[in-house]
Amino acid sequence: MAVIAKVIVDVPTMQTDQPYDYLVPEALVQAVQPGMRVVVNFGKGSREVVGMVVDLADAADFAGELKSIKAVIDLAPVMNQELLALSKWLAASTFAFWITCINTMLPAMLKANMEKIIVPIVHNEAVDAMFGDQSGLLFDQITDLAVMGQLMQWQQAGWVTTEYRLKKNQKVKKETLIKPLLNRPAYQAALATVKKNAVKQRELLEALMQWQDDADSPKLTSINKRFSRPQLNAAQEKGWLAFEQREIYRDPYPEMANQALTQPLTLTDSQAKVVASVSAAIHAASPTPFLLEGVTGSGKTEVYLQLMAEALRAGKTALMLVPEIALTPQMVNRVRGRFGAAVAVLHSGLSDGEKYDEWRRIERKEASIVVGARSAVFAPLENIGLLIMDEEHETSYKQEDNPRYHARDVLLHRARTHQAPVVLGSATPSLESRARAQKGVYTLLSLPERINQQPLPDVHIIDMRQAVESIQGDFSKELLDALQMRLERHEQSVLLLNRRGYSSFVMCRECGFVKTCPNCDISLTLHMDSHTLKCHYCGHEEPIPNVCPNCGSKKIRYYGTGTQKIEEQLAQYLPQARVLRMDVDTTKKKGAHARMLKQFGEQKADILLGTQMIAKGLDFPNVTLVGVINADTALGLPDFRASERTFQLLTQVSGRAGRADKPGHVIVQTYNPDHYAIQFARMHDYEGFYRQEMQLRHQGDYPPYYYTVKVTVSHEDANQAAKAAFSLGKQLQGALGSAIMLGPTPGAIARLKNRYYYQIVLKYKHEDRLLEMLHLMRDETQKSARQGFTIAFDREPQSFI
Ligand SMILES: Nc1ncnc2c1ncn2[C@@H]1O[C@H](COP(=O)(O)OP(=O)(O)OP(=O)(O)O)[C@@H](O)[C@H]1O
Ligand SMILES: [Zn+2]
Ligand SMILES: [Zn+2]
């Protein structure tokens, strides 16, 4: 009977979620499984394309003559059944194509420019006949399907394995082991034949006798000081030993390899309560979502660690998401510190090779805990017993490109599949999550106090409008005095420069001219280190002008406040202070971020000056002062979440102060001292902020009272973009029901990279017809792409500009 494979093809301009039918050739029938990638002929001209087998069937849906699968790319599935089903769900819930989701979920290494090699692991007659004296077979050179089918069966039997090697030689890493080939009597016999004065040879034979008793063969690198390579080669020729290659993983955290593991702390009463509730759900395999609302420094991390230990005790695995990990090396250290090699870490700071190795450790069940940033939510963990999202309010959990998913939704979905509880943790939960807890969709847990009854730091608001006379540069007198006092007491300070909605730009004082990007309608940002103006959207770069390009005046000045400028001011006002500046420029190099935090932790600096990236997660006991230079730059943004973001940022950064035995103090400089976001942050009153903000959201018909979708259309020609947007608007109008449509309006940045943008925002409660319409529109996008349009759908967009 024929076997039919349902294949989703990877053709950018011809996408559809409908799988195509292909015949599985006789030779591959035993081997092909869902989750394997294959090569098939597709469309007119029958060009070869890659596809993913999503299902197998006895009969075809397609009536015509079927083409056959040309070749397989994977000997074993690269996606298991759960992840395959997840990819399908993801496509439906994000308006992205299925294949886009599949590609997002696979590690880059599997897709990069690689060659695949089939390598024998077992030696027997059949295997040796196939491989001869070659160490492996280059996958692309296997053209015979029968051979391919054979190899796939061997892979399933554990006789061969597949290795990927980047074409530029970044292969699976190997080390060489010395394997003793004889037993003790045989070595004794050999020893008898060796001359008395051949000291080294005798020593080697003695050593080999030892090693053949040991469980592990020694590494070549560990003995190459004792025995030279020629000696070892000679011994190999005599048949005394063999060199054995073993695959090793790249370890992204080599410095942690031999550390002793940390022990669980004795929990406080409130921590113990939280752990008990979630543990019960772990053991009951109940997919309950918990919202853990715990003030800064309340010991959420210890709770996560003990819960993960509980999941392991239940014989299960655990998945923990953290905001972009480059930002929280401390968190990774704490998890690795507790669980050691059982932890796999996945984040964008790793090389493709490191990521791939971590991915394989998960897949081979060598790692039972995964910690990672957004995309780690797709880690191939099986038998998950607990899912955690730390700092659940963080916007970096939402992906800005296709598929535009929110990791929280994916996490909740996987929790249902695995029947496992979810813990969403934050000191400042997103309004969406807090509202769900209100409705009982999530179970609310709380840690209302800091560890050891430490008080939350007291927060002092400085009205910058009143302080004009005493202001030096960007500093109020209070802030400078407070910094000075910390220097005298040998305590540390954290200084936050709020960059959201803010940029340093160049403006002419005569005519008001602002230099903008020639490709995008936004002002260029000043970079003092390279002495250039840069566009943050398209990368355009040009020298800083000396005279105004518009009126010729020399009064062209730098406006705005960058971290570099603050650093210069500190050097001027507090010359004795040791300042560490942490921003996108100083943390570009791999590991720079972790290195700077380590330096700060070792008290090698007095002030940690930085942007948003220093606001959360840091736990340094000697920090007693937090200064916020500009609290309110984000409040002016045309975004209904502006207050929420400001409240979160102030609360998080305040939380860095006074975490150990010394009390903390926070100074916030602002031009809007009475704004409720700033006032509630001053009082550490999340619940108060939540209630007021919910009222405003209700009045404005905003989330969480409404769901939102943003549809964006762009084209190189402004008229075309507008026309398309209005025609989409008309189509949507018909399906609106009780939903609200805003727009079409030109995007807040109307032109970007020489394309013109229009957007439509839809607000709805339950609109099946509307969602159906959006799916239909998505299917049309490829036709429009051929006419130069891009159309993007963004569910629950994090930004409306
Ligand atoms: N039960 C405990 N006993 C003693 N110390 C504890 C306990 N639990 C946590 N701690 C310590 O308290 C400090 C704060 O805890 P942690 O960093 O986990 O707080 P957090 O709630 O994650 O804070 P944030 O939200 O500000 O990141 C840490 O130094 C931690 O080691
Ligand atoms: Zn001018
Ligand atoms: Zn630009």
Domain of 791, CATH number, reads 3.30.70.600
Residue 86 pLDDT class (50, 70, 90 cuts): very high
For residues 35 and 70, the answer to whether their CB atoms sit within 8 Å is no
Average pLDDT over residues 590-611: 89
Tokens of 713: 């259309």
417, 477, 403, 414: which is closest to 627 by C-alpha? Answer: 477
Share of the chain above pLDDT 70, in %: 91
**Residue in the block written with tokens 């955290």:** 253
* CB 300 less than 6 A from any atom of ligand 1: yes
Ligand 1 center from residue 452 Cα (angstroms): 10
Is residue 576 classed exposed, middle or buried when 0-12, 13-18 and 19+ CB atoms within 10 A define those classes? exposed
Residue 399 pLDDT class (50, 70, 90 cuts): very high
Residue 742 pLDDT class (50, 70, 90 cuts): confident
Q: Where are the alpha helices (DSSP H) in 532-656?
A: 563-573, 592-601, 642-654
How many Å apart are CA 184 and CA 71, to the nearest integer?
A: 49
Residues 592 and 635 in one domain: yes
CB crowding 248-267: b at 16 or more within 10 Å, else e: ebbebbeeeeeeeebeeeeb
Three-state SS for 520-550 is CCCECEEECCCCEEECCCCCCEEECCCCCCC
Please indicate, yes or no, if residue 643 is contained in any of the structural domains: yes
pLDDT score of 169: 42
Label the pairing between strands 384-389 and 422-426: parallel
pLDDT above 80 (res 550): yes
* Highest mean pLDDT out of 113-117, 535-539, 547-551: 547-551
Q: Maximum CA pair distance of the chain?
A: 98
How many Å apart are CA 595 and CA 588, to the nearest integer?
A: 12
Residues 498 and 627 in one domain: yes
Nearest atom in ligand 1 to 300's CA: 21
Q: What are phi and psi for residue 448, nearest 5 degrees? A: -80, -10
pLDDT score of 114: 59
Please indicate, yes or no, if residue 520 is contained in any of the structural domains: no
Residues 373 and 384 in one domain: yes
Tokens of 48: 């070869």
**Residue in the block written with tokens 């905001």:** 323
Alpha carbon nearest to ligand 1 atom 23, residue = 297
* Residue of 274, 298, 332, 452 best suited for mutating to test ligand 1, as the one with most atoms within 8 Å of CB: 298
Nearest atom in ligand 1 to 621's CA: 29
Average pLDDT over residues 526-535: 73
Alpha carbon nearest to ligand 1 atom 15, residue = 299
* Domain edge (last residue) among 687, 720, 755: 687
pLDDT score of 168: 47
- 718-724 contacts, C-beta under 8 A, 24 or more apart: 718/751, 718/756, 720/788, 720/789, 721/755, 721/756, 721/757, 721/758, 721/789, 722/746, 722/756, 722/758, 724/758, 724/784, 724/789, 724/791
* Residue of 262, 263, 300 best suited for mutating to test ligand 1, as the one with most atoms within 8 Å of CB: 300
Share of the chain above pLDDT 90, in %: 41
List the single range of 64-68, 558-562, 684-688, 723-727 with lowest mean pLDDT: 558-562
pLDDT score of 585: 73
User: Can you say how many angstroms the Cα of residue 629 is from the centroid of all Cα atoms in its chain?
Assistant: 29
Alpha carbon nearest to ligand 1 atom 16, residue = 299
**Residue in the block written with tokens 């399907």:** 145
Residues 446 and 371 in one domain: yes
* CB 617 less than 6 A from any atom of ligand 1: yes
**Residue in the block written with tokens 């999941």:** 311
696: amino acid identity, one letter: L
Annotated binding residue 520: yes
pLDDT score of 432: 96
CATH of the domain at 347: 3.40.50.300
Residues 119 and 268 in one domain: no
* CB 798 less than 6 A from any atom of ligand 1: no
Annotated binding residue 508: yes
Query: What are the counts of helices (DSSP H) followed by strands (DSSP E) for the chain?
Result: 23, 32
* Residue of 302, 332, 654 best suited for mutating to test ligand 1, as the one with most atoms within 8 Å of CB: 302
Q: Is 209 helix (H, G, I), strand (E, B) or coil?
A: helix
Average pLDDT over residues 102-128: 80
Domain total of the chain: 6
Please indicate, yes or no, if residue 698 is contained in any of the structural domains: no
* Sequence-distant (≥ 6) Cβ neighbours of residue 310 within 8 angstroms: 275, 278, 279, 282, 283, 386
Alpha carbon distance, N-terminus to C-terminus of the chain: 56
| Ligand closest in space to the Cα of 552 | 2
* Residue of 451, 614, 620, 659 best suited for mutating to test ligand 1, as the one with most atoms within 8 Å of CB: 451
* CB 648 less than 6 A from any atom of ligand 1: no
pLDDT score of 57: 92
* CB 60 less than 6 A from any atom of ligand 1: no
pLDDT score of 495: 95
Residues 194 and 297 in one domain: no
Annotated binding residue 538: yes
CATH of the domain at 91: 3.40.1440.60
Over the stretch 181-202, which tens digit does the pLDDT of each residue have? 888 888 988 888 888 888 888 8
Residue 167 pLDDT class (50, 70, 90 cuts): low
Average pLDDT over residues 66-87: 90
How many Å apart are CA 424 and CA 388, to the nearest integer?
A: 6
Over the stretch 271-326, which tens digit does the pLDDT of each residue have? 999 999 999 999 999 999 999 999 988 999 999 999 999 999 999 999 999 987 55
Q: How many CB atoms lie within 10 A of CB 725?
A: 27
Residues 635 and 495 in one domain: yes
List the single range of 126-135, 361-370, 425-434 with lowest mean pLDDT: 126-135
Tokens of 331: 């968190």
* CB 323 less than 6 A from any atom of ligand 1: no
For residues 383 and 317, the answer to whether their CB atoms sit within 8 Å is yes
Residue 166 pLDDT class (50, 70, 90 cuts): low
pLDDT score of 45: 66
pLDDT above 50 (res 501): no
* Highest mean pLDDT out of 254-258, 404-408, 760-764: 404-408
Average pLDDT over residues 595-624: 88
Over the stretch 232-282, which tens digit does the pLDDT of each residue have? 888 888 889 888 877 777 666 665 566 778 999 999 999 999 999 999 999
pLDDT above 80 (res 747): no
Ligand 3 center from residue 609 Cα (angstroms): 28
* CB 186 less than 6 A from any atom of ligand 1: no
Residues 288 and 399 in one domain: yes
Q: Which domain holds residue 199?
A: 174-247
Residues 218 and 236 in one domain: yes
Average pLDDT over residues 656-677: 89
pLDDT above 50 (res 502): no
Label the pairing between strands 707-715 and 114-120: unpaired
Residues 298 and 423 in one domain: yes
How many Å apart are CA 250 and CA 356, to the nearest integer?
A: 9
| Ligand closest in space to the Cα of 521 | 3
pLDDT above 90 (res 24): yes
* Domain edge (last residue) among 106, 132, 155: 106
Q: How many CB atoms lie within 10 A of CB 214?
A: 9
Residue 369 pLDDT class (50, 70, 90 cuts): very high
pLDDT above 70 (res 504): no
670 vs 413, residue with greater confidence: 413
pLDDT score of 222: 81
Alpha carbon nearest to ligand 1 atom 10, residue = 299
Please indicate, yes or no, if residue 346 is contained in any of the structural domains: yes
Please indicate, yes or no, if residue 136 is contained in any of the structural domains: yes
How many Å apart are CA 579 and CA 536, to the nearest integer?
A: 26
Rounded to two decimals, the ipTM of the complex is 0.94
668 strand-pairing partners: 461, 628
Tokens of 660: 């150990």
Residues 298 and 394 in one domain: yes
Ligand 3 center from residue 450 Cα (angstroms): 46
* Highest mean pLDDT out of 504-513, 521-530, 597-606, 786-795: 597-606
Q: What is the DSSP string of 145-174?
A: HHHHHHHHHHHHHTSEEEEEEETTTB---E
Please indicate, yes or no, if residue 542 is contained in any of the structural domains: no
Q: Is 391 helix (H, G, I), strand (E, B) or coil?
A: coil
| Ligand closest in space to the Cα of 557 | 2
Residues 290 and 434 in one domain: yes
For residues 720 and 757, the answer to whether their CB atoms sit within 8 Å is no
Ligand 3 center from residue 616 Cα (angstroms): 30
For residues 569 and 475, the answer to whether their CB atoms sit within 8 Å is yes
pLDDT above 90 (res 551): no
| Ligand closest in space to the Cα of 392 | 1
Please indicate, yes or no, if residue 549 is contained in any of the structural domains: no
Rounded (10°) angle between helices 642-654 and 686-699: 170
* CB 163 less than 6 A from any atom of ligand 1: no
Average pLDDT, the chain: 86
pLDDT score of 753: 76
* Domain edge (last residue) among 247, 271, 290: 247
* Highest mean pLDDT out of 512-526, 573-587, 627-641: 573-587
Please indicate, yes or no, if residue 553 is contained in any of the structural domains: no
pLDDT above 80 (res 98): yes
